[in-house]
Amino acid sequence: MRYSAAAACCFCAAGVCEHPAAGGVPKVYWFISPWAAEWKASNPEAHLVSRLFNTSLRNRMEDLALQASDAILVESDFIRRELKAHHRKVPDAKVTLVPGAVDLGRFRPEGTREESRARFGIGPGPVVLTVRRLVERMGIDLLIRAAAEVPGLRVVVGGDGPLRGELEALAGSLRVPATFLGYVKDEDLPSLYRAADLFVLPTRALEGFGLVAIEAMACGTPAMGTPVGAIPEVLGPLGLVFDGVTPQAIAGGIRRFFAERDAALPERCRAHVAANYDWARVIERTERVLIEVAREGPGHGRR
């Protein structure tokens, strides 16, 4: 059985709250995304009774964990809004935005693109990359269909999931040159990002932050994404958001990227990450919340 990150957080929180020692320990909850919304996105064909039961149960469990926490961390304004929409009784004062972050020493430009491509068996020519779990809401099919409208474009997909066979078949039927790498080890990610000309987030729904996009940009590879969830927050300042969530909009954005080929863009992307998502800066914000909650003690957090 597969569990989402939201489910993992909720189950862990339930275990903590039920432990006999929990009453004397301050608690901080990292709210990644609404569990009920993730379930709906993963089960679009569920009938009404199942949908109502599963979403209400998940929402209730999550609400209990949130109410029992002294502080709540979210990664984006989008997720802050989702939290409020699903859990209206949670006080705003409990919630702190702490964005995702990267280690700029590890994710950095290094070597040549040709060297990185050779490592993964990627040939010459324009290459777009995505690293995602292969499920419907990630929109990998949208990217493949978009690539069919950009002659000569190769798509490289890192990650695995239940739709892999279907996506490979789609690429074959559309004659899109596509490489499916399967699971990519964490230590190999920087080199993989550097192998691509462009990183793409073709998300359909519930993009809470998009950490892979800032990892790619830290490596000097520009990233573009659909106008979904937190993507406009992260990529909007650089003007790297597609016009819509369709293959045509994605194809148009990719064509513009290669036609304009701004030589200064990779450096601007890394500078954007350094200014907003450097782990050394973000950890300070996290530490401030933890220290404040620890000082106030359980049950005396922000109300």
* pLDDT tens column, 247-285: 999 999 999 999 998 999 999 999 999 999 999 989 999
Q: Where are the alpha helices (DSSP H) in 133-230?
A: 140-147, 164-173, 189-195, 211-218
- What stretch of H or E contains 268? helix 265-276
Query: pTM of the full predicted structure?
Result: 0.89
Q: Kindly state the tokens that stand for 291.
A: 């220290």
- Model confidence at 23: pLDDT above 80: no
Instruction: Give all domains of the chain, ordered by start, each with its CATH number.
Output: 5-99+278-296 (3.40.50.2000), 113-276 (3.40.50.2000)
Task: Count CB atoms within 10 A of the CB of residue 277.
Answer: 22
Give which of 93, 79, 171, 203 is closest to 212, Cα–Cα: 203
CB distance 179 to 159 below 8 Å:
no
* pLDDT tens column, 32-73: 999 888 878 778 778 888 888 888 888 899 999 998 899 999
Rounded alpha-carbon distances, angstroms, from residue 2 to 61, 84, 133: 18, 26, 12
120-139 burial, b if ≥16 CB within 10 A, otherwise e? Answer: bebeeebbbbbbbebbbbbb
> Quick one: the chain helix, strand, coil %, rounded to 5?
50, 10, 35
Average the pLDDT over 205-224 and give the result. Answer: 97
